[in-house]
Amino acid sequence: MARGEGAEQYSATLLSVKPLNTEIKPAKPKNQRNRLSVCSKVCYAFGGAPYQITGSALGFFLQIYLLDVAQLDPFYASIILFVGRAWDAVTDPTVGFLVSRSRWTGIGRMMPWILLSTPFAVLTYFLIWYVPPFEEGKVVWYLIFYCLFQSMQTCFHVPYSALTMFISTDQKERDSATAYRMMVEVLGTVLGTAIQGQIVGGVSNCPDETEHVNSTNSSRVNVTRASLDETKKAYLVASGVICIIYVLCAVILFLGVKERKESGRKKSEPLTFRQSLWVIMTHGPYVKLVIGFLFTSLAFMLLEGNFALFITYALGHRKHFQNILLVIMLSGTLTIPWWHWFLTRFGKKKAVYFGISWAVPFMILIVCIKSNLVISYLVSVAAGVSVAAAFLLPWSMLPDVVDDFKVKNPDIHGHEALFYSFYVFFIKFASGVSLGVSTLSLKFAGYMTGDCVQPEAVSLTLKVLVSPVPVFLIAVGLLILKTYPIDEERRQGNRKLLQQMLDSEADSESESSELGSSM
């Protein structure tokens, strides 16, 4: 009897379980679960605009603003530029470390950093472009607010960069979202250059170089007090417009993107800052990628930081410099889709070699020929093609390095932000060194603050800073990137291994949930 009762109970149990199995709906294919809508990609891309809009305005105009509007000595201007960038570089790994240890909230792990930093970033950015009514503490003013803005911007941009790894687990979707992001970011640089350049460029009272052919040092035309006040107001108006756009982009990012929590993975024990640094810096592909792009990015940063001064004083196109800068950015924007097609068709390493080296002949041409406005515009169009490649490729290749790290270290999770923050650290530190050294070089060349015409030595120094030095840095960077080991075969292999790992985790999670529901 006991056995019969047990058999009957066992049969009843099977009958009760069977309907549960038949009611389970087939799961969506994994590629559909990870697919992002176009709306999500566009909203995600908008989050990259604030960094580029403010970055292009600061990169192209802060040096000339400090020298000719705030009228600081080139030595003090070089200190502000170097310390601000160096401070910005230090905050990147610090914020990346703090973000990696942040807890998951109702809106994600990255979003709280982005939202809370936005109002402070906007306020400090606006105050950078305000000329205080005192002379004694002017250097301290700019140093404090420049550093504060860089800190707040870091609290926005590092979590946003790491957000790439949390919007989808599919590599193709991340690459596609990155392409959208690069398009919007280059549009952001266009917007930043256009807003700052067009608003500020229309108030200069200095005549063109052609009107000074027979001028001497004693007959230099200085900026009048009235035109200087108008220029100060123009910089404030431009910064106000940029601040409004900054806030709008942050709101679009928050409302349109859902941060996906990693499910099924066991979190590794939190690493100390020293351990995190060691883990990342011992990953060979990451080190080679960072060092290679360190040199190439330094080349384009030198070009960016000195190009406005170069156009104004070396080429003599004072009334056209904002338009030439705008042409470069527009050219870059229009070629971003082509570069995305190129890297998917021929691979990312080939895109690096071809895209970044494309600028070299035009860097040489612009300093070898006699000043000519038409040729300057043509060179700007060609240079914008390389600018697009310089924007797209580093951010497209960093996720590949992170995936390679995950394959080799499957037990370490939650440190994606560190890869991005340390990369930005090295790039920004190098940028600070380049801006500081270039501005100091102008002081040694005899740069005259506030003057419309500069000595010949200044023109020669600017030519060196925008051509021979960047060309050398590009050559070194490309040689290093040649040793970068992640080719298309390895990248696809990593993708398959990661997908297998994710599928296995998803299956184990679904099995555990089914067991829990049947209990």
Confidence of residue 110 (pLDDT cuts 50, 70, 90): confident
Using one digit for the tens of pLDDT, what is the confidence trace for 267-281?
Answer: 555 666 677 778 778
- 205 has a pLDDT exceeding 60: no
pLDDT of residue 17: 41
pLDDT of residue 217: 43
CA proximity to 452, closest of 198, 212, 213, 227: 212
Mean pLDDT on 432-450: 82
pLDDT of residue 215: 43
Residue listed under structure tokens 């099995």 = 511
pTM, rounded to two decimals: 0.69
pLDDT of residue 225: 55
Mean pLDDT on 209-235: 59
- 486 has a pLDDT exceeding 70: yes
Mean pLDDT on 449-471: 86
Measure the CA angle with vertex 109, ends 107 and 113; round to 5°. 90
pLDDT of residue 34: 59
Confidence of residue 213 (pLDDT cuts 50, 70, 90): very low
Pull the structure tokens for residue 510: 């679904």
Mean pLDDT on 176-180: 79
Pull the structure tokens for residue 464: 């060196």
Give CA torsion, residues 240, 243, 244, 249, to 10 deg: 160
Q: Which residue has the higher pLDDT, 212 or 497?
A: 497
Mean pLDDT on 97-110: 80
Mean pLDDT on 110-117: 90
- 23 has a pLDDT exceeding 60: no
**Collapsed DSSP state (helix, strand, coil) of residue 150:** helix
Q: Which helix (H) or strand (E) holds 114?
A: helix 111-128
Q: Which residue has the higher pLDDT, 385 or 392?
A: 385
Q: Which residue has the higher pLDDT, 478 or 86?
A: 478
Confidence of residue 517 (pLDDT cuts 50, 70, 90): low
Confidence of residue 349 (pLDDT cuts 50, 70, 90): confident
- 71 has a pLDDT exceeding 60: yes
Residue listed under structure tokens 């060349």 = 445
pLDDT of residue 243: 95
Pull the structure tokens for residue 277: 């640094």
**Collapsed DSSP state (helix, strand, coil) of residue 205:** coil
Mean pLDDT on 62-91: 87
- 70 has a pLDDT exceeding 50: yes
Confidence of residue 209 (pLDDT cuts 50, 70, 90): very low
Mean pLDDT on 57-61: 86
- Report the alpha-carbon distance of residue 76 to residue 73 in Å, rounded: 5
Residues of the chain with pLDDT > 90, as a percent, come to: 16
Task: Write the DSSP symbol of residue 218.
Answer: G
Confidence of residue 494 (pLDDT cuts 50, 70, 90): confident
pLDDT of residue 380: 85
Distances (CA, A) of 500 to 34, 236, 268, 285: 14, 54, 20, 22
Confidence of residue 212 (pLDDT cuts 50, 70, 90): very low
Of 312-326, 450-464, 481-495, minimum mean pLDDT range: 312-326
**Dihedral sign from CA coordinates of 89, 363, 57, 113:** negative
- Report the alpha-carbon distance of residue 193 to residue 330 in Å, rounded: 10
Residues 6 or more apart in contact with residue 482 via CB below 8 angstroms? none
Mean pLDDT on 294-299: 88
Residues 6 or more apart in contact with residue 176 via CB below 8 angstroms? 36, 41
- 24 has a pLDDT exceeding 50: no
- Report the alpha-carbon distance of residue 355 to residue 359 in Å, rounded: 8
CA proximity to 265, closest of 398, 164, 165, 174: 165
pLDDT of residue 308: 78
pLDDT of residue 280: 78
Pull the structure tokens for residue 158: 């590092």
Mean pLDDT of the chain: 79
pLDDT of residue 506: 59
Confidence of residue 109 (pLDDT cuts 50, 70, 90): confident
Most confident of 363-367, 408-412, 506-510: 363-367
Q: Which residue has the higher pLDDT, 490 or 211?
A: 490
Burial class (CB in 10 A: 0-12, 13-18, 19+), 172: middle
User: What backbone phi and psi angles, to 5 degrees, belong to 281?
Assistant: -80, -5
Residues of the chain with pLDDT > 70, as a percent, come to: 81
Mean pLDDT on 165-183: 76
pLDDT of residue 300: 85
pLDDT of residue 511: 57
pLDDT of residue 513: 55
Confidence of residue 104 (pLDDT cuts 50, 70, 90): confident
Do 270 and 441 contact (CB within 8 A), yes or no? no
Mean pLDDT on 331-354: 85
Confidence of residue 262 (pLDDT cuts 50, 70, 90): low
